[in-house]
């Protein structure tokens, strides 16, 4: 305690035990002086910046010090069969997809795996419900704007789903979440995609790449037939969108 206090005094030139000080933009100021500045309208009251308020052209996740932390939650075994059960393909697929982001965009994708934490026993087969549940159960891991959360599950109705630009459109909250499905039960979005395609496609959404839908042009992982076919790359538009969002 005493050492911390000394460090603080050394750093800021004020004694934290004499609390009549307010930190404004990193500068400690006497409280009465700050009150006067606020009253006279010279400054706005200092507020904690919530994690969902982001500066710059992108509101979504982005690299800090060249790094994105990818927190991967594997659905726990439950009565609906939500745990992946076809071997380790989804692990290799995740590594393949993340390495494409590293190669193409020069960003370090640091992977971090969590088994036994995501409880989907309150979710049926809806990928929308799964995404909401992932946010609810796993976003405690997020403490910076370079965190993203991927959930791996089985027996959902689509290949995957992600929050566009890493923001929940209903609440406006920072929600860098994507669900990836091992084997979809009712794959309206063209068959069962390879696991690496699912991760690459959904993670791209977190960096604001759009869906191209059921089209062969442009040739891009964001078009459903190309994702299904295992095509590995982005069209030039998606490439520049993702680049701009990672290196915001
Ligand atoms: Zn999509
Ligand atoms: Zn594209």
The phi, psi pair for 217, rounded to 5°, reads -125, 130
Query: Is 176:190 a contact under the CB 8 Å cutoff?
Result: no
Instruction: Give the pLDDT score at 107.
Output: 97
Q: How far is the CA of 109 from the centre of ligand 1 (A)?
A: 20
pLDDT of 121 above 50:
yes
The model's pTM is 0.77
Ligand closest in space to the Cα of 239:
2
Alpha-carbon dihedral 128, 131, 135, 141, rounded to 10 degrees: 180
Cα–Cα dist 140/227, whole Å: 31
Q: How far is the CA of 220 from the centre of ligand 2 (A)?
A: 5
Q: 67-246, superfamily in CATH? A: Collagenase (Catalytic Domain) (3.40.390.10)
Nearest to 236 by CA among 224, 219, 213: 219
Residue recorded with tokens 């309208």: 41
Q: How far is the CA of 53 from the centre of ligand 1 (A)?
A: 25
Can you tell me the mean pLDDT for 131-141? Answer: 96
Query: Is 28:21 a contact under the CB 8 Å cutoff?
Result: yes
Q: How far is the CA of 118 from the centre of ligand 1 (A)?
A: 22
Residue recorded with tokens 């609810």: 136
Ligand closest in space to the Cα of 197:
1
Q: How far is the CA of 10 from the centre of ligand 1 (A)?
A: 51
Q: How far is the CA of 222 from the centre of ligand 1 (A)?
A: 6
Of all residues in the chain, what percent are helix, strand and coil, respectively (each to 5)? Answer: 35, 20, 45
Q: How far is the CA of 107 from the centre of ligand 2 (A)?
A: 19
Residue-wise pLDDT for 11-33, tens only, equals: 655 565 654 555 555 566 665 66
Residue-wise pLDDT for 172-208, tens only, equals: 899 999 999 999 987 666 689 999 999 999 999 999 9
pLDDT of 34 above 60:
no
pLDDT of 65 above 50:
yes
Domain boundaries, the chain: 2-39, 67-246
Nearest to 200 by CA among 175, 229, 222: 222
């Amino acid at each position: 305690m005493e050492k911390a206090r000394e460090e603080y005094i050394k750093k800021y030139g004020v004694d934290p035990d004499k609390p009549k000080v307010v930190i404004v933009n990193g500068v400690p100021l006497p409280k009465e002086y700050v009150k006067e500045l606020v009253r006279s309208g010279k400054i706005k009251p200092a507020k904690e910046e919530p994690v969902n308020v982001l500066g710059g052209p992108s509101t979504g996740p982005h690299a800090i010090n060249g790094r994105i932390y990818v927190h991967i939650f594997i659905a726990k075994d439950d009565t609906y069969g939500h745990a992946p059960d076809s071997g380790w393909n989804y692990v290799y697929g995740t590594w393949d997809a993340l390495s494409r982001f590293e190669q193409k965009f020069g960003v370090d994708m640091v992977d971090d795996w969590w088994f036994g934490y995501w409880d989907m026993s309150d979710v049926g087969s809806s990928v929308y419900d799964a995404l909401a549940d992932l946010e609810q159960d796993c976003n405690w891991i997020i403490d910076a704007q370079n965190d993203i959360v991927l959930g791996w599950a089985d027996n959902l109705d689509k290949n995957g789903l992600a929050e566009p630009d890493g923001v929940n459109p209903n609440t406006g909250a920072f929600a860098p979440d994507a669900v990836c499905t091992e084997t979809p039960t009712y794959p309206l979005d063209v068959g069962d995609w390879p696991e690496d395609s699912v991760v690459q496609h959904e993670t791209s959404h977190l960096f604001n790449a759009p869906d191209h839908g059921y089209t062969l042009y442009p040739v891009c992982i964001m078009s459903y037939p190309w994702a299904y076919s295992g095509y590995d790359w982005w069209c030039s538009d998606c490439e520049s969108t993702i680049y701009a969002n990672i290196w915001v």
